[in-house]
Amino acid sequence: MTIFKRVSVLISMILLQATLILAQQPSQQGEFLPIDQLPPEDQLPAAPLLIAAYSFVLVVLFLYIVSLARRLTSVQREMDRLDANIKQGGRA
């Protein structure tokens, strides 16, 4: 079994399990309730989640840019080395 098939089977199993779990939960949402009327255990503040999501994206973006900079520096060094070899009349 290839890795692609294994991953697709695993994802299918996870989605099926999530669907079954969600189907078993009773629906308590009958109508719209403002957040200040909900009990404290049902309230979910958005600010910490939003800050965490933006922080995660910024950290990943920063790591990606650092990775690109390192690779480009390596390529630039190799290009300079090859250019110096060509100017000296030697082969790469």
For 14-64, the pLDDT digits (tens) are 877 877 776 665 555 667 777 777 787 776 777 888 899 999 999 999 999
For 64-84, the pLDDT digits (tens) are 999 999 999 999 999 999 999
Domain ranges (residues) in the chain? 45-92
Quick one: which H or E segment has residue 76?
A: helix 46-87
pTM for the predicted model, two decimal places: 0.49
Asked if residue 85 lies in contact with residue 91, where contact means CB atoms within 8 angstroms, the answer is: yes
Asked if residue 82 lies in contact with residue 92, where contact means CB atoms within 8 angstroms, the answer is: yes
